[in-house]
Amino acid sequence: MSASLLTMFKDLHRGERCVLVCNGPSLNRMDLGFLRDEIVFGLNKIYLGLEKFGFYPRYLTAVNDKVIRQSAEAYRQMSCVKFLCESCADVVPADALTFHIRTIGLPERFYRDITEGVRGGHTVTHAAFQIIRYMGFSEVVVIGMDHRFEYTGRPNQELQMQGGDPNHFSADYFRGQKWDAPNLAESEVSYRVARRIFEEEGRRIIDATVDGACDIFPKADYRKLFGLG
């Protein structure tokens, strides 16, 4: 599928708000029913929690080869728009709901035109910010971005999860599977770039994660943001 088809998403949601749902354990401390009334971007293996949490994303983004290949069957069944890295087109082919996107490794880059690609930035969250900005959203509220992980190894190292996964909302997230260790320092570099771009354009990123460890974005209580009492 040609990258030019991505142009249908340009400014599709100009001036609107979306909620970017990351996959940290803090999601288990939230009542996520309010997401049924919001435009939701899911990431990676969010499908593992949809029945439990009671919402369904309108969009999903995944750019890590391991995640996509582990999730291929689930992605093929999901009825939301998916933006997946083109290197995995062999397992999740393009269709009416699946769009392939290039991932580019240039440092400290934020792509305003996603038909050229997106920078992974050591975190799928950064890729999602580029897509969200392209779609015209003026505000993105981030939840589930705990920004803390338990692991032994080096940043970016391929690891084998032994037992349940303590780093995500589901113990089955990477149970018994290979995964790439996080690089929190480089993720923060990416987040600073994303914040700068959004704020230069009069947009904003709000971190409403419960007890999140990231200090890059302005913080807010999700219950107050969404009028939950």
Q: Return the structure tokens found at 26.
A: 């803090």
Bridge partners, residue 20, by sequence: 41, 142
Q: Look at the domain 3-225 and name its fold.
A: sialyltransferase cstii, chain A (3.90.1480)
Domain spans of the chain, in order of start: 3-225
Q: Tell me what pLDDT residue 196 has.
A: 97
Tally of CB atoms within 10 A around 176: 11
Q: Write the CA distances from 95 to 5, 56, 78, integer angstroms.
A: 11, 19, 12
- H or E element in which residue 159 lies: strand 158-160
Query: pTM for this one?
Result: 0.96
Calpha distance 36→132 (Å, rounded): 19
Reported as a single tens digit per residue, the pLDDT across 27-78 is 999 999 999 999 999 999 999 999 999 999 999 999 999 999 999 999 999 9
Calpha distance 175→127 (Å, rounded): 25
Reported as a single tens digit per residue, the pLDDT across 98-125 is 999 999 877 668 999 999 999 988 999 9
Listed residue (166, 215, 151) closest to 187, CA to CA: 215
Calpha distance 70→146 (Å, rounded): 23
Listed residue (75, 51, 56) closest to 65, CA to CA: 75
Q: How sure is the predictor about 2, in pLDDT bands with cuts at 50, 70 and 90?
A: low
